[in-house]
Every structure is written in structure tokens, then in C-alpha cells.
A and B are shown apart, each in its own frame.
Chain A
Amino acid sequence: MTQRRRLSNTQNSPQSRQQPGTLMAQEEDDDSTFTQPSTSQVQRGLEKLTPAQVEQKTAEVVQYFLVKDQKKIPIRRADLVKHVVKDYRNIYPEIIKRAERTFDQVFGLKLVEIDTKSHSYILINKMEPVVGASIINPTNPKMGLLFVILSIIFMKGGLVRENLIWSTLKKLRVDPGEKHEEFGDVRKVVTDEFVRQRYLEYVRIPHTEPVEHEFRWGQRADKEVSKAKILEFMGQLHEQDPQSWSQQYREAHSTPSSSQASTSSQR
């Protein structure tokens, strides 16, 4: 047999960008390698850098937050330091402070640390939503789905079994077992996407056979979603005074920071 000659073999290996929708499992937190520098360390670090350098790094960090926020998955400090801050880690607090200022003054956004253990950040909007503002804005139907789920959880006292969510969605013609025209794999969107975005928590109920889970609000929902406004909508929907749900009303109008009050029947 004749040997075969090949002109070139430039078969590029597929690059390792993730497919949209699939996300790598949360890596082991390598945040331990990062220790928050002290004020004096920051001071010394700043002296060695020109203002332009610090500004540029800040802009990169802002850019990074914006890019990563496309998927609404919280941004971990460890990743931020590894991918962007890099050699500037000794002035990390200063850079974050400046990035916060840029978000505030240019974008009207707020950078919030949601998890002080894993140090993750999310961006939330500081501007009041304006009724009728969506003159041109397209809407994302998934937000509607999320809204319904969060409403049920809140109205049921902060904790619900998954069955309640699935059966209510079924009544709304969204079958978690079927591919939905608008949401695709509904179960995945709800128990995976919303969970990774920290809108929802989805936890297994112990000692159930078959396995059952329950839902509660995630950290992002706590920061981003107004219970008072949900209740207001409930009032409109049921043609009922929002105050008639007295427990929910009290919770919605208590201090927004401590909104975690699970009153539901825990077995």
C-alpha cells in the first residue's frame, strides 16, 4: 500500500469555551489563596502605581462585571482576582471601591456582595422601574416564569414543596416534563438556571421517598425583588386588599434587609 501524504494537518483543536447553557460545576473555592490586603498595604501599593494604571484596572474590572453579568450568575471574588485583578491584588479594596463608584455614577447600578463566605457579587439596579418605561424594551418571558414562582413561595410563607410549584405551573400550561416553546426545558430552567443565578434555592427534603425538594428565595431574589410590589400585584390579581394577607403584608413592609422569615410548616 502506498503511504499517504497529507498536505497539512491544521485541525484546530476545539477551543474550550463553554457552550451556552452548560456551566462548569462550581470549582473548588480557590479564594483561600486570596487574603484581603490591609489598609496600609493598599496605601503602599497605590504609591507604586500611577493614577492612570489604577483607573485602567478599575475599568477592566467594571468591564468584567458587565460581561459576567450577561448570564446573571454571581461573580466570585476568586475568579475576579484570577482573571482581571491579577497583579493588582494588593490594592483590591481600592479597585472594588472605584468600580462601585463607576457602577453607581455611570450605570445607576449597585454592586452587592451576596455571600460573605464565598465572596460573590451581583449587580442590581438602583433606578426605580418606571411604569410604561418599556416603550421600546423587549421583555424576557423567563422573568415572568420566575416571578410566578417567587410569588408562590412568598405567599406560602417562604418555603414550598416543589409539587406545589409544578402543579401550579401545569395549570398555567407549563409542564415541567415537556419542552416548552418559550422556556425549553422548564425543569432545568427552574432548578438549575434560576438556582445558579441565586434567584431560587432548591433543597432536598430529608427522608422522603421518592425524593422531594422544596423551594425558597435565593440570595439574589432577596436583594433584587420587592415583596411589597409582589403583594400589590397579588391584590390587583385577586381584587383584594393586599393588607388582607396580614402576615405577608407585615413581612413585605418590614426592614428589607432581614427578609428571611420562614413561617411555613416544617415537618
Chain B
Amino acid sequence: MSRQMGDSHRRFLQTMMVSGIVDEQEARTLYKHCCETHNTQCAPDKLDDFIDTINSKLQPMFMQIRKGMSEDSGQQYYALVNMSETEVTRMSSDYADNELELFRKTIELIMGAENGKASSTDILNSVDSMTTKKMKKSETEHLLNRLVHDKWLCEKRGEYTLSTRCIIEMEPYIREMYQDQVKVCHICHNIAFQCQICENPTCGIKIHNPCVARYFQGRAEPRCPACDDFWPHEIPEVRRPQSQSRR
């Protein structure tokens, strides 16, 4: 496979810049669209090669199109991520300093929470301990909306979780910064926020909900893959990948 980028690659990359994240189905559609627009060959099983070609050229800029799983649906996603932290990357102007501080506090809350969620009240309260410019309640709410809109957080009934985009991009950061708090899925070995935990106190392994579904599918009596104790949680259904997107 050619390592040289063509117009189809560039168009794919541009769309990734605009969207930030696409699910696997969208990525396939986009791949096909880009190839058709520029009359290049499109082999359905070559999407990852196609993306690798782009990544090889993005590498010097510490950018990458990275694959990851949604903790919610178990679907695969592709996100365009930044991989370095330098003087230049810190010039990003999407969020102000105090907004970034609150975002970090939100991550802290989520990391510290058993269920991987932070309630809006807790986030609002954490404003009080900010060291940069404090935010008003309305400003905080506005910021949270923006973070959801920009696909960094997800919100459900007043509770915030890290989005798939955020987890894909921030995984190395979280692993490094929260070494003793980070949970890792026993099945897929990625970090886990929304997961089930083995209740055997000497075991306590974690498994993503979608990984639970896949692992225990068709087994009569679910047992912990590590300690063989009975797995007492509800086993979710395996979700078939669908084109309807959830981010």
C-alpha cells in the first residue's frame, strides 16, 4: 500500500478536523465518499491502512487518528487527537485558563467517584476551590454546555461523564496523572469509568459494561474471569453496531 497521501486522504483528514470524532460506520462512509470524490480505489477492508497512511504523515506534528471504544455502546470510534504538550499546544484558545482548571477538577471528581460520574452540583461546588479566576454559577453552566457540545463531556440527568472523544485523547494523560486511581478493564485493558466490579474483596477486577456483555454472552452462570467467583451484576445485552451515532 502506498504511503503517499492523496486528495482522498487529505479530505478525510479535513473532515476529522471538523468533526473531531466519528464512529466506525461514519468513518467507512466517509472513506468511501473521499475515494469516490477523488476517483481512487476504495477497499472496504482497508480503512485502517488508509488511516495509517494519514497517521504516518501526522506523526511529526504529534497528531493522530486514534481508535477507541465507547464505554456506553461498545462501538468503535475514530478520533483525531493531539499527543504532545508543549508551549505551542498550550496556546490553544478554545478554553480559557479557568475553564480548563474547572475541566480538570471535573476529571478529578470523575476519577474519585466510584461510578465514574460527577454531578453538576459537585462540579459547581468545586468552583470554590479554584485558584484561577472563579466562575459564576451561570458561567459554569455555560461552560459545561460547551464542553458537552464540543464532545469532551457527556451529560445525563445532571451527571457528567467523560466522552468517548475525551477518553480516547486523554487516556495517556489519565493513566499518568491518576496512576493510583485509574481503573483498567480486565477484558480490553483500556481504562474504564463505566464498568462492573467483581465483588470479591480480594479480587475487585473491573470490566466495561459492553465488555461484560460480550464476555458473558451465552454463558449459563457468569463467573469472574480472574477469581472465578459468581459475577453478581446484571449482564447487559450485546449491542449490535448500528449506524445511528452516539458520542
A137 touches B60 (CB 8 A): no
B96 at the interface (CB under 8 A from A): yes
Interchain CB contact under 8 A, B14 and A66: no
Task: Give min CB distance, A81 to chain B, whole Å.
Answer: 14
In the complex, which residues of chain A have a beta carbon less than 8 angstroms from the beta carbon of B97? 14-15, 17
The residue from B10, B37, B131, B132 contacting A107, defined by CB atoms under 8 A apart: B10
Chain B hits for A17, CB < 8 A = 96-97
Task: Give A52-86 as 1s and 0s: 1 = Cβ < 8 Å from B's Cβ atoms.
Answer: 00011011101110111011000000000001100
A20 near B: Cβ within 8 Å? yes
- Identify which of B33, B92, B95, B133 contacts A133 (C-beta below 8 A): B33
Contact A70-B94, Cβ < 8 Å, known A83-B87, A107-B14: yes
A222 vs B145: C-alpha distance when bound (angstroms):
35
On whether A67 and B19 interact (CB within 8 A), knowing A106-B10, A107-B14, A127-B10, the answer reads no
Q: Which one, B10, B19, B86, B99, contacts A138 given CB within 8 A?
A: B19
The answer, yes or no, to whether A116 is at the interface (CB within 8 Å) is no
Give 1 or 0 for each of A149-170: 1 = CB within 8 Å of chain B CB: 0000000000000000000000
Complex interface residues of chain B between 1 and 49 (CB less than 8 A to chain A): 5, 7, 10-11, 13-15, 18-19, 22, 26, 29-30, 33, 37
User: Number of A-B pairs whose CB atoms are under 8 Å?
Assistant: 94
CA distance A166 to B96 in the complex (A): 31
Interface size class of A (residues with CB under 8 A): 35 or more
Is A240 among interface residues, defined by CB-CB distance under 8 A? no
B18 touches A67 (CB 8 A): no
A67, B88: Cβ atoms under 8 Å? yes
Q: Which residues of chain B have C-beta atoms less than 8 A from A177's C-beta?
A: none
Partner of B26, one of A63, A64, A127, A136: A136
Residues of B within 8 A of A137 (CB): 15, 18-19
Asked whether any CB of chain A lies closer than 8 Å to the CB of B220, the reply is: no
| A93 CB-CB contact with B under 8 Å | no
Q: Mark B209-229, 1 if CB is under 8 A from A, else 0.
A: 000000000000000000000
Whether A127 and B7, one on each chain, are in contact in the complex, defined by CB atoms closer than 8 angstroms, is: yes
Q: Can you list 6 contacts pairing A with B, beta carbon distance less than 8 Å?
A: A11-B131, A17-B97, A63-B62, A63-B86, A106-B57, A136-B30
Q: Which 6 A-B pairs have CB atoms at the shortest separation, nearest pair first? A: A108-B10, A59-B60, A17-B97, A12-B131, A106-B57, A137-B18
Q: Which residues of A contact B (CB under 8 A)?
A: 11-12, 14-15, 17-20, 55-56, 58-60, 62-64, 66-68, 70-71, 83-84, 102, 105-108, 125, 127, 130, 133, 135-138
